[in-house]
Amino acid sequence: QLQLQESGPGLVKPSETLSLICTVSGGSISSSGYYWGWIRQPPGKGLEWIGSIYYSGNTYYNPSLKNPVTISVDTSKNQFSLKLTSVTAADTAMFYCARGPARIRGFDIWGQGTMVTVSS
Amino acid sequence: DIQMTQSPSSLSVSVGDRVTITCRASQSISSYLNWYQQKPGKAPKLLIYAASSLQSGVPSRFSGSGSGTDFTLTISSLQPEDFATYYCQQSYSTPMYTFGQGTKLEIK
């Protein structure tokens, strides 16, 4: 059974880079027909799609985000990662990684989420 | 950008009620609309994809309908475990997605 697990620092200073890793177990991140995405949720608020990477390596980012974002994949470790630069307190959120089958055009398997606080 | 607007933002309901949640897109999105359920402290769970297709393992009391700009999620008979927040998500501009702001079901 496929599982996703987010990992990374729970506290990041303002202006620094937020870096998270999503480890995929129970299946290959290189399987065709899947996107691998990052979604965040500020405390008490709704969901915001950050970006996705396709199994082929193509990346897609939310154009509404103010900060530069980079999503990359490490097939040797069955992981994909998120880098969000120049963070501010407004970037404080629960961050989820998720699998997105192309046929569903959404996310069917999610990690449990990791809380990241931006504070000095 | 495609904007998604859900109504109502919250709803006070009782076990056994028939519940309908609405999601409206700022432009036509055909049937590219998904619904998720999120319980406190948990990740969202996919309920419905492509407007009306039930995700595997989801109880049949959940159903979705609509196309174009107007969509509904219906719970035919609310169960205690259904108290949660529900989100719609457009996938017309896949893989660039937008979520609605959420609808919270509260106990009356």
Residue B20: pLDDT above 90? yes
Give me the DSSP letters along B54-88: EPTT--TTEEEEEETTEEEEEESS--GGG-SEEEE
CA distance linking residue A96 with residue B45, whole number of Å: 12
Of chain A residues 6-65, which have a CB less than 8 A from chain B? 35, 37, 39, 46-49, 52, 54, 60, 62-64
State how far residue B28 is from chain A, nearest Cα, in angstroms: 16
How large is the average pLDDT for residues A89-102?
97
List, for residues B21-73, the tens digit of each pLDDT value.
999 999 999 999 999 999 999 999 999 999 999 999 999 999 999 999 999 99
Q: What is the pLDDT of residues B76-104, one digit of tens each?
A: 999 999 999 999 999 998 888 999 999 99
pLDDT score for A56: 86
C-alpha A31/C-alpha A48 separation (Å) is 25
Q: How far is CA B81 from CA A14, B2, B94, in A?
A: 39, 31, 31
pLDDT of residue B94: 85
pLDDT at B66: 98
Residue A55 scores a pLDDT above 90: no
Q: Closest Cα partner for B22 from B36, B39, B8, B10? A: B8
